[in-house]
């Protein structure tokens, strides 16, 4: 395993981050793995040198954080691993990730107010079973809370010792720039990472967010590096009725993000190169990301041991400039997705 600094910090992270959203309870989403099925995958990740683990309070309504803490206590030394989690959404089994089609929410159980942040961090610490969080990230932008309130509260968490670093996830580039400027102007801690939506099929982040992060020295740790499994090459236009896996059949969000004719063309080029190289689609797709400047670690979701083994193997795959250009040659612009 190779390791790198997280942006301009001294924090060392593995080039692969294991995304813990896949582990928790299927009561939340049907493709989630329970503790018994998740344990060997996390154990294998640790054996392969992964020291970076990302979860969120929303995942399985907190059960993902509980399993993350349990597994890492079992398999790792606390001072060697980097535990990242996120806040913004309600921690509610009935909440599926969109305010538009979920049960009505009570006041102050979501967002980025000072009250919510202080309550959420204590709850996450308890579920994780730790006394500090290495990387605490805002999951989305809060349009109802002044950014000054949010950034000062996050700064206070770092100074209190409950959090070591802060990061952000998908938002507009102007919002991220405003947050960083607000923090810098007030002498507060700034975000060190951006967890954004970025893969071979969705590259709209290359227009503004990624150049901004590179200029500021902010680490990129993209989510959905395989486009929710789409880049593996086993998806079809009929997945919603005849998909090969539970996730393919039930992941309505993937249907919204991908599945255009142009997206299948990208997968075709990826498959052709993978075949020529004697590699899997997944390895080449991960390798393409790992070749992008400023990218620290893609966040990998693994529902099988082979999935994490493929991701780690990709850290050793070298692509030529011509191969990188070929992989991107079929890309067609998307509407902005992931935070809209």
Catalytically annotated residues: 59
Beta strand pairing call for 82-87 and 52-54: parallel
What are the start-end ranges of the H helices in the chain?
A: 35-47, 63-75, 114-128, 147-160, 173-186, 209-216, 239-242, 246-250, 252-257, 261-277, 281-290, 305-314, 321-328
- Are the C-beta atoms of 136 and 167 separated by less than 8 Å? yes
The sign of the dihedral angle between the CA atoms of 44, 48, 51, 53 is negative
Give the residue among 40, 131, 136 at the shortest CA–CA distance from 88: 136
Q: How far from chain centre, in Å, is Cα 100?
A: 22
Whose tokens are 């499994």? That residue is 229
Non-local (6+) Cβ contacts of 42 within 8 A are 18, 23, 71, 72, 75
5's enclosing H/E stretch is strand 3-5
Contact status, residue 153 vs residue 189, Cβ threshold 8 Å: no
**187: its two tokens:** 């002498």
């Amino acid at each position: 395993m190779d390791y790198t600094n997280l942006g301009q910090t001294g924090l060392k992270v593995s080039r692969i981050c294991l995304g813990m959203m896949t582990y928790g309870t299927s009561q939340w989403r049907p493709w989630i793995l329970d503790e018994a099925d998740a344990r060997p995958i996390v154990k294998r990740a640790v054996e392969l040198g992964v020291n970076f683990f990302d979860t969120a309070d929303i995942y399985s309504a907190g059960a993902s954080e509980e399993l993350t803490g349990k597994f890492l206590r079992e398999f790792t030394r606390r001072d060697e691993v980097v535990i990242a989690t996120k806040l913004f959404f309600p921690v509610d089994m009935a909440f599926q990730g969109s305010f538009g089609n979920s049960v009505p929410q009570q006041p102050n159980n979501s967002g980025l107010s000072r009250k919510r942040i202080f309550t959420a961090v204590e709850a996450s610490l308890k579920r994780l079973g730790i006394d500090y969080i290495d990387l605490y990230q805002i999951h989305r932008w809060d349009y109802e809370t002044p950014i000054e309130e949010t950034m000062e509260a996050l700064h206070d968490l770092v100074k209190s010792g409950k959090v070591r670093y802060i990061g952000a996830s998908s938002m507009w580039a102007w919002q991220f720039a405003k947050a960083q400027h607000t923090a810098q102007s007030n002498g507060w801690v700034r975000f060190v990472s951006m967890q954004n939506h970025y893969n071979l099929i969705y590259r709209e982040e290359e227009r503004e967010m990624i150049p901004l992060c590179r200029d500021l020295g902010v680490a990129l740790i993209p989510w959905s590096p395989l486009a929710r499994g789409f880049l593996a090459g086993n998806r079809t236009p009929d997945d919603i009725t005849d998909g090969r896996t539970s996730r393919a059949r039930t992941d309505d969000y993937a249907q919204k993000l991908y599945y255009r004719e142009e997206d299948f063309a990208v997968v075709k080029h990826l498959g052709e190169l993978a075949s020529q190289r004697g590699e899997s689609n997944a390895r080449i797709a991960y390798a393409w990301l790992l070749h992008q400047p400023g990218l620290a670690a893609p966040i990998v979701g693994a529902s099988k041991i082979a999935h994490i083994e493929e991701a780690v193997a990709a850290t050793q795959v070298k692509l030529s400039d011509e191969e990188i250009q070929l992989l991107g040659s079929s890309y067609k612009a998307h509407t902005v997705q992931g935070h809209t």
